[in-house]
Structure 1
Amino acid sequence: MARPPLPIGTWGNIRTEKLGPNRYCARARFRDYDGKTRDVEATGTTGPAATRALKEKMRDRATPNDDEITRDTHVSTLANLWIEEITAEERVAPQTINKYETSLRTAILPALGNLRIREAGVGRLDKFLREVATDRPSAAKNAKVVLGQMFALAVRRGALTTNPVRETGRLRKPRRTVRALETEHLEGVRSAIRQWQQPTPGKPGPRHTGDLADIVDLMLATGARIGEILAGRWEDADLGTEQPTVTICGTIVYVKGKGFFRQEWTKSDAGYRTVVLPRFAVGMLLARKLNAADNPHDAIFASRRGTWLSPQNVRRQWRQARADTGLEWVTPHTFRKTVATLIDKEADTDSAAAQLGHGSKEITKKHYIVKPALAPDSSHILEQLGASPTTTSP
């Protein structure tokens, strides 16, 4: 009967041989991770030292192959190879690759880049992710996505048998209270923008345009993301019908080396939508079209040079406008939450989700709608828990 093969990653009897003064060799048969059994040896100044060296060598052994990724490959090298692969495949959007590279540059490589793949075990990766999550939960989440895909590449290339990132613990998700604008807040927003747009005597530079006020109005009229608003073209707006509409069909993105440009699709399939405009937005757009200068992109909001406006610049302008107004908590995404909360209150969650371009109303409900402070009226049900009326005798 044939002897059963060694289990993968294990070795047989260790044999020690003296080679000379203070020089010993330890040998064993080791079954590699590709299923083949090979002779492995190590030397030391004594027999026990040679045995220890051999055991360490087999513990950290990588399967012999012609691939450029092995267990001894540095994490920084693995990161570069992974970025090259996903870039060549063209299945990941360029702006997403930029986000991955930022995570690598700012978080992952400074902490883990000099490690070899075999040294990046579950415990070490888990500790790293939790340390990042202490102050930057979103950065930790991005880092976990990047590391998971990197080490998946190492598994596919035979350098690892399992992906250690999968065994790390779940990251803490900070509880965030959804906050939307009330009527008094809206007036404060518009007042802050009007004040910011006023010319300042003696201040150098071009005068502020009316773009910020119009952008905020269109965000409140549609619930669209800031990138979707800035990607709007006049051909996407139909203002001459009984129900004027605008079609959300693109977004402004940034790619390193290319700058800001209009992406011809939205964040998700559900994001491609046509929304009916309220009267205040129709009036604003008609007035804007009357005075708009031509630009090569047919953009509703274009820079003085006729280029697409960047979301970062608009966010910076809003931060300047809201300074010292008590509105520091209000971001462009707050306008989106305000739209969702109002539609949910006056109509339903399905309508709010459709307006925002969400594929699932659960996302809208969890992240965009302010929870009501008043519970549903169940007083008639709870009446059953009251004390029975006492009967008085005549």
Structure 2
Amino acid sequence: MGARRGRPALSIGQLGKINEWQDKSVGCYKAQARLRLPNGTRTRVTGKSTLSALDARNDLNEKARRKLAAWDTTEGYSPDMTLRELAQRWLDDYRTQKPAPKAQTVQRHESSLNAHLLPAFGDLSIAELSNPRLRKWLRTLGSEHLAEARNSRVVLRHVLAKGAEEGICSPELLNFDGVRLAVPIKKARAIAPGELDRLRTMVQADRSRPRSGPKSRKTHDDLLDAIDLALATSLRISEVLGISSEDVALDPKGPVLNVSKKVEYVRGTGYVLGSVKTHGTERSIPLPPFAVRIIERRIKQYGTGLIFRSSRAPGGPISQNNLRRLLREILDGSDLAWVTPHSARKTMLTAVNRQLGSKAAAAVAGHADDKLIISTYGERETVAPDVTDITETMFAPKRGSE
């Protein structure tokens, strides 16, 4: 095909050659040109004025502007807007999306924006941002504050994805593949049976110290029961404290705990009941007899509702931080100072992994798969059960027939 001839192609939103004339039949000046619309088609636009040709041209330009505005879906988005402006628009949308995000998640994202992203890039326009610069910044932040860098990367991707959706930045700007911000995996440390006995003794001894009243010993009782229920169920401490009498089916044939809530802290509100970590974390857990005894005792003591409840806010949840603080104070300086309430969950999952394997442990923990169990708790023991008594009795050849 030969080279294209004729008038050069108009750009999107551009007016072609403007023709002006005075139409004496109607007593006005006219200006007319073709306008290329965002879909690539052309349309004729005519401006009119009874005053002058210049006013007719101005009317033409205004009509062209209105036609293009009808196609504009950017709602004021532009590569010249700052990251601060784009982030605020994304945050406004994020707060109102369905299903609504958790208050804790919104607060965490706001914190990353205000503490890290906006001080670094808030006053730069989207056009001034570059992927290499953002990558370098994430790596630097990760070397100092790994958790903050990981959440900042999540927020940055969300904000820039909003910009890409509105057509003001390229998808490459939010591509952070290869920026490793992996949290070092720690091998789980289980509490040995002897250590567990000493732990309970130390908490009981601290509970027996002279204090001002019965309420001062309540936290010790909560701590012991929370640890024992975590050992029985593998629940996180926040999930243990979220157990309600309505969650427990005390059927003699098989008592079951239905896990759906946890205690979480919301800034400005305090400790509240929220949903568990993910939908997959909702699960039913068979209860051993010692866990049933603890739950029944607490229901008898407190009545229906939460089995761990605050004395300051009757019926409300208690703070897991108070339990952590008390345990830390009791164990400080001892060889058990490494133990936290979460160690009970690790201990239970370690035992299940060793006895029944990683898939069973993952199911108990509420994980989608067993990858985290394998990386944290190791592979299932490969030594086969000792069945030599069975094989010797049933299958050994008779003497004389050997």
Q: TM-score when scaled to structure 1?
A: 0.71
Residue 6 of structure 1: how far off its partner (Å):
10
Residues 222 and 275, structure 1, Cα contact 8 Å, conserved in 2: yes
- Give 2:308's aligned residue: 301
Q: Which moved more, 1:217-226 or 1:190-199?
A: 190-199
TM-superposed deviation, 1:258: 4.0
Q: C-alpha separation between the residues in 1 aligned to 2:267 and 2:98? A: 15
| Aligned-pair CA distance for 1:147 | 0.3
1:348-371 CA distances to partner (integer Å, 9 max, x unpaired)?
Answer: 22221111111212232223x245
Change (3 A) 1:289 1:249: same
Larger radius of gyration: 2
Which amino acid in the other structure matches residue 85 of structure 2?
Answer: T
The CA distance in 2 between the partners of 1:211 and 1:356, in whole Å, is 22
CA distance in 2 between partners of 1:326 and 1:165 (Å): 47
One-letter identity of the residue aligned with 1:77: E
CA RMSD of aligned residues (A): 3.2
Amino acid in structure 2 at the alignment position of 1:126: R
Residue in structure 1 matched with residue 225 of structure 2 by the alignment: 214
Q: Secondary structure at the match of 1:147?
A: helix
Please say if 1:268 is aligned against 2:281. Answer: no
Cα distance in 2 for partners of 1:326, 1:213 equals 19
1:250 equivalenced with 2:261 (yes/no): yes
Structure 2 counterpart of 1:78, one-letter code? L
Work out the CA distance in 1 between the residues paired with 2:178 and 2:299: 54
8 Å contact kept, 1:126–1:169? no
Structure 1 counterpart of 2:82, one-letter code: H
Is 1:106 paired with 2:115?
yes
Distance in 1 of aligned mates of 2:138 and 2:239? 32
Offset at 1:163? 4.3
> Can you give the 5+ residue segments of structure 1 that lack an aligned partner in the other structure?
9-32, 37-63, 378-394
For residue 345 of structure 1, what is the aligned residue in structure 2? 354
Asked if residue 68 in structure 1 is aligned to residue 76 in structure 2, the reply is: yes
Alpha-carbon distance in 2 for matches of 1:99, 1:79: 14
Hey, what does 1:87 align to over in structure 2? Answer: 95
State the AA in 2 paired with 1:300: I
Structure 2 matches for 1:1-394, cutoff 5 A?
1-2=4-5, 67-91=75-99, 92-167=101-176, 169-181=178-190, 182-200=192-210, 206-209=216-219, 210-263=221-274, 265-290=275-300, 292-294=301-303, 298-304=305-311, 305-306=313-314, 307-367=316-376, 369-370=377-378
Deviation, 1:279, is 2.6
Rounded to whole Å, the distance in 2 between the matches of 1:347 and 1:71 is 56
1:321 deviates by 3.2
Change (3 A) 1:192 1:106: farther
Residues 244 and 370 (structure 1 numbering): CA distance in 2 closer, same or farther, change over 3 Å? same
What amino acid sits opposite 1:179 in the alignment? A
The 1-side partners of 2:77 and 2:206 are apart by: 55
Contact 1:226 1:332 in 2 (8 A): yes
Instruction: Write the distance in 2 (CA, Å) between the matches of 1:238 and 1:309.
Output: 23
Instruction: Tell me the TM-score normalized by structure 2.
Output: 0.70
| Matched AA of 1:346 | Q
Distance in 1 between the 2:334 and 2:114 partners? Answer: 36
1:96-117: CA deviations, max 9, x gaps? 2122112223322232223222
Structure 1: how far apart are the matches of 2:184 and 2:379?
Answer: 13
- After superposition, the Cα gap between the structure-2 partners of 1:66 and 1:242, relative to the gap in structure 1 and judged at 3 Å, is closer
Q: Sort the Cα spacing of 1:201 and 1:300 in 2 relative to 1 into closer, same or farther, 3 A.
A: closer
For residues 34 and 76 of structure 1, the distance between their equivalents in structure 2, rounded to whole angstroms, comes to: 31
| Separation (CA, whole Å) in 2 of partners of 1:324 and 1:68 | 61
Helix, strand or coil: the match of 1:321? helix
Distance in 2 of aligned mates of 1:344 and 1:231: 25
Whole-angstrom CA distance in 1 between matches of 2:378 and 2:207? 31
Q: Secondary structure at the match of 1:247?
A: strand
Alignment match, 2:17: none
Q: Is the 8 A contact 2:90 2:159 kept in 1?
A: yes
C-alpha separation in 1, matches of 2:202 and 2:123: 49
Change (3 A) 1:168 1:235: closer
Aligned length: 320
State the match for 2:394 in structure 1.
none
Write the deviation string for residues 105-146 of structure 1: whole angstroms up to 9, x where unpaired.
Answer: 332223222322222211221111111111322221111111
Confirm or deny: 8 A CA contact 1:228 1:266 kept in the other structure: yes
Q: 1:76 to 1:328 in 2, by over 3 A?
A: farther
